[in-house]
Amino acid sequence: MAPPPFSMYSPRGAGDDGAAGVTAGLAPLYGAGPDDDPGFLASLRGGTVLGRLRAVMLVLLAAPVLILAIMPPIVEDGGGPAGDGGPWPYLLLAVFALPALLAGPRTPRPMPPGGTRGDAAGRALLLFRQAVLLRFALALGVVLVGLPLAMVGHGELIFVAGFAAGYPLLIRLALPTRGGVERIRRRLERHGAESHLWAVLLAPRPGPDGR
């Protein structure tokens, strides 16, 4: 059975960094690059690793929008739309946004050179998944922390401010667009490694029977 799109589990052995088995059942298209990406919407129907990842991220990106929609009856506007907590809730939102702004673009770590191209592709896919999940968590935290702050500060605008700060970060950092994949690929290859990231992302996903 093939691992799920965001699975970071893989068997570890002595000297294994966790990349072994990540590409099991996949047939990487070595030599593929960003020009081979069929486009965001077309990839959703293509059955590739990248298409599945994009579909999962679109579902996850809907969650903050749903929270925004149900937020008004949850938050009591006792101090007006801006709340009665003064500037502190907004300053706290800025504090939560800083890790996403500073640490998000600096993930993943560069890959070390060497190894076979199969090993490199597996390691690149593992690091890519981890980076997307970490970036998503950092940016989503900015949105989610706005809800309790809005409840404590009695102001809907506090959550709206958190949404306005965090949601663009979600799209910029975590959505695997062509440009987003390229930025991560360049980080992986900063130390001279060849990641074969596009090769493994554009590989067809195996079916439930592994074929």
The domain locations on the chain are 34-201
Query: Which pair of structure tokens corresponds to residue 146?
Result: 């706005």
Q: Which residues contact 168 (CB under 8 A, 6 or more apart)?
A: none
Q: Which amino acid, 40?
A: F
Give the residue, 34 or 11, on which the prediction is more confident.
34
Is residue 5 left, alpha or beta, with left meaning phi > 0 and alpha meaning psi from -120 to 50?
alpha
Contact 200, 49 (CB under 8 A): yes
Q: Which amino acid, 58?
A: L
Select from 8, 84, 61, 29 the least CA-distant residue to 174.
61
Which pLDDT band holds residue 80 (cuts at 50, 70, 90)?
A: low
Which pLDDT band holds residue 20 (cuts at 50, 70, 90)?
A: low
Using a pLDDT cut of 70, give the percent of the chain over it. Answer: 82
**Per-residue pLDDT at 7:** 47
Please compute the mean of the pLDDT values over residues 69-95 and round it to a whole number: 80
Mean pLDDT over each residue of the chain, to the nearest integer: 85
**Per-residue pLDDT at 168:** 95
pLDDT (tens digit per residue) in 102-145: 999 999 999 999 888 999 999 999 999 999 999 999 999 999 99
Which pLDDT band holds residue 8 (cuts at 50, 70, 90)?
A: very low
pTM of the prediction? 0.83
DSSP states of 94-119 as a string? HHHHHHHHHHGGG-SPPPPS-S-HHH
Please compute the mean of the pLDDT values over residues 141-167 and round it to a whole number: 91
